[in-house]
Amino acid sequence: MSRKDFQGEGAAPQGASPTVVIIARNEEANIAEALKSAHGWAGEIIVVDDNSIDRTAVISAQYARVLKRHMENEGIHRNWAYAQARTDWVLSLDADEQLTPELRDEIMRTIQTTSHVAFDIPLRNFIGTYWVRFGGWYPAPKVRLFRRDRFKYEEVQVHPRVVVDGTVGHLTADIIHKGYPDIEHFLASVNRQTTLEAQKWIATGRKMSCGHMLWRAIDRFFRRYVGKQGFRDGMYGFLIAYFDSLYQFLSYVKYRDMVRKGSQ
């Protein structure tokens, strides 16, 4: 991919604080805390609202520039959202996440002198009030801070990969991720993500056999629960490993059902 493929529309002005970009849909229960954690610090806050039917846009308008856009594809949608920023640096934040003061300070110190074009940031993930520390859930760093003109997402529907034109550094302070208020929400997420995974296999022409699925399911459980010490999180560690394994099975069953329906 050439350098010009990374360019956004128009030149980004120089600025000390990053633009915080939040992708949201029906997030009235979460988004206020995310916005408050960035308010007064970010150079600008942008919320790209995917036609919410709750008060997401109303709440967001108190803190951010709100743009309405339907998400037809996650990768395309995110790339469009980041291109709306007016600063060189962008910080991508989900509506159920919050910036810590330590992270805000670390970002400001780092971007003044760095030669990296992107940074991954540790996520402190919670189920309810429980901080999941093992099983690969912490620090679980993700690339969230980047120069607008040197970063893109792969334009696929589910689990898009990042494409960075340059080197990636590492920050040490956390983003707080309260993505699952309870186990019910965690299970709903598994159901939703396995549907998208099966759709991705169909869209990309990927072939998945029962034997390969079984191997992946078994491997995931033991890697999560034993290799990454998920057992140290007790009941939560077992549930995470179990449903990580079940993710493979559910994705495969849904994939087979879609193939069957498509052949009828």
Crossing angle of helices 234-263 and 210-222, rounded to 10°:
170
Q: What is the mean pLDDT of residues 68-74?
A: 93
- Confidence check: pLDDT of 15 > 70: no
Determine the pLDDT at residue 203. Answer: 85
Look at residue 209 and tell me whether its pLDDT is greater than 70. yes
What digits encode the pLDDT tens for the residues 80-127?
999 999 999 999 999 999 999 999 999 999 999 999 999 999 999 999
Residues 186/128, Cβ–Cβ less than 8 Å:
no
> Which tokens is 218 given?
């078994």
Q: What pLDDT is stored for residue 184 in this prediction? A: 94
The model's confidence at residue 151, banded by pLDDT at 50, 70 and 90, is very high
DSSP 129-163: TEE--STT-SS--EEEEEEGGGEEE---SSSPPEE
User: What is the band of 207 on the pLDDT scale with cuts at 50, 70, 90?
Assistant: confident
What are 182-203's pLDDT values in tens digits? 999 999 999 999 998 999 899 8
pLDDT tier at 216, thresholds 50, 70, 90: very high
DSSP codes of every residue in 181-220 = SSHHHHHHHHHHHHHHHHHHHHHTT----HHHHHHHHHHH
Which of 15-19, 26-30, 190-194 bottoms out in mean pLDDT, i.e. has the lowest? 15-19
Report the share of the chain in percent with pLDDT over 70. 93
**Which structure tokens are listed for 206?**
């990927």
Q: What average pLDDT does the segment 29-45 reach?
A: 97
